[in-house]
Amino acid sequence: MTERRSVLITGATRGIGRAIAEELAEGWHILVGGTHADTVNELVASLPSAEPFVVDLTDDAAMADATVRVGQLDALVHSAGGIVVSPIAEMDPQAWRDLFEINVVAVAALTSKLLPQLRASHGQVIAINSGSGFHTRANQSAYSATKHALVAVTNGLREEERGQVRVTSIHPGPVDTDMQVTMQELLGGTYQPEKYLHPADVARTVALALEMRPGASVDYLSVRPAG
């Protein structure tokens, strides 16, 4: 039997992250990333080959302790993240800091800790970004600012690790997830799931990037609702 490649997926217990774990489950060993042991262990138990990676990504000491126990790693998928919907005039400064902490700083910090394993395997880093990484709508400036910053992080990482680690930035349009429900509630809109992508659509783009031959790198992928 071919040895499974190993992938760590953050935010793996819900939404896009869970869909990615389920998409890759047949051929990969999944490190299920999440902050709550009960939901992480529930998903681990449902997958053919998996183990828990329970950590608060904004806790530097906890992250350092968790990453030192990670062995072989062939891919790192950043799917954890947060959102704030508010006009700039009403944004609390701490809300800006908290959002950057989870959407940008945690991504860079976790990647940095795991680069030795990824370099050894000539692995891949995949960041689930957003269409908001390219444009900004009213009341979403903070969220979009973090996603623009994440583009800069992945662009820089790609150049720094070229020839060693491949880096992909995936930019979905609106996806039918809990986060999208929250966003529409905050915006006062009507939630129409049939107009949004299914999380599995995004998961398939991750699988595509991971299935490329070693000599090819998917730098960016944009996937949007067809309608």
Distance, CA of 33 to CA of 27 (rounded, Å): 18
Q: Which of 143, 191, 196, 220 is catalytic?
A: 143
Could you give the 3-state DSSP secondary structure of residue 190?
coil
CA-based radius of gyration for the chain: 17
Residue recorded with tokens 């970004």: 129
Say how many CA atoms lie within 13 Å of 57 toward its Cβ: 28
Pairing mode of beta strands 220-223, 5-9: unpaired
Pairing mode of beta strands 50-54, 166-172: unpaired
Annotated active-site residue 196? The verdict is no
Residues taking part in catalysis: 143
